Amino acid sequence: MLQLLRKNPYRELEKRLGYTFRKKDLIEMALVHRSYRFEVKNVESDNQRLEFLGDAVLGMVVAAQLYRAHAHVDEGVLTERRSRVTSGKALAETAARIGLGDFIRLGKGEEQAGGRQRQSLLSDALEAVLGAAYLDGGLRAVEKIAAQLFPAVMEDSAQEEWKDNPKGKLQEVVQRLHGRSPDYCCVGEEGPPHQKTFRVEAVVNGKVMGRGEGSSRRAAEVKAATEAVNALLDLEKARSPEGSR
């Protein structure tokens, strides 16, 4: 195993992760890329096994968080959200945000090839760190890191699912809450025929929940639906036990 060069060189990284390792050799191993092991004598292990473990543990922890946070969402949607949060792209972005690449030990060739910025390398290293955290402190340790790193990503993933189809999302929410479809009312048209502006209201159960303007009725409906979805989800969250605390 590598020898630590100074007293806890990972303190800053641990601060960014929101977790302090009791066994520093675990986080040390998580940051050893295979290119470093191949080039440096007396280095017998790299982070590939920890990456394997971290991938599995992360999937479980994120699934549990999503299950608790979205009580009315079905299995298919939860699976999609988990995939978004745990995708290589999302993990690489998170790793880059916390500067994980600065701590990874790379071989000279990988370093010169820009390995510290490579998405696959960053995502693999982050999974390895999570695997190391699991060995160091069990699921609680991984949950602590996930709470620090992923809540915003998970929220964004929920938004991403419907931002390209807000009318479909509004239909889904209104059907679930009220057993009916929303209505769209065109309340105004302005401008010459070649340059009209339409104003539309999204009406849910007799109440206006969103308003939108656009160069076509459909564009106005999309904006009204987006506003209505956000309003309904905010109301639903406020009425939940967690939101009322």
Tens of pLDDT, residue by residue over 80-133, are 888 888 999 999 999 999 999 999 999 888 888 887 889 999 999 999 999 999
Query: pLDDT tens digits, residue range 31-75?
Result: 999 998 888 888 888 999 999 999 999 999 999 888 877 776 778
Pick the catalytic residue: 55, 110, 124, 143?
A: 55
What would the DSSP string read from start to end of 93-160?
HHHHHTTGGGG-B--HHHHHTTGGG-HHHHHHHHHHHHHHHHHHHHHHHHHHHHHHHSHHHHHHHHHH
How far apart are alpha carbons 167 and 21 in whole angstroms? 47
Name the token pair of 185: 């009312």
Known active-site residue 55 = yes
Known active-site residue 164 = no
The domains located in the chain, with CATH, are: 11-160 (1.10.1520.10), 165-239 (3.30.160.20)
Dmax (CA) for the chain in angstroms is: 78
Pick the catalytic residue: 51, 124, 127, 201?
A: 127
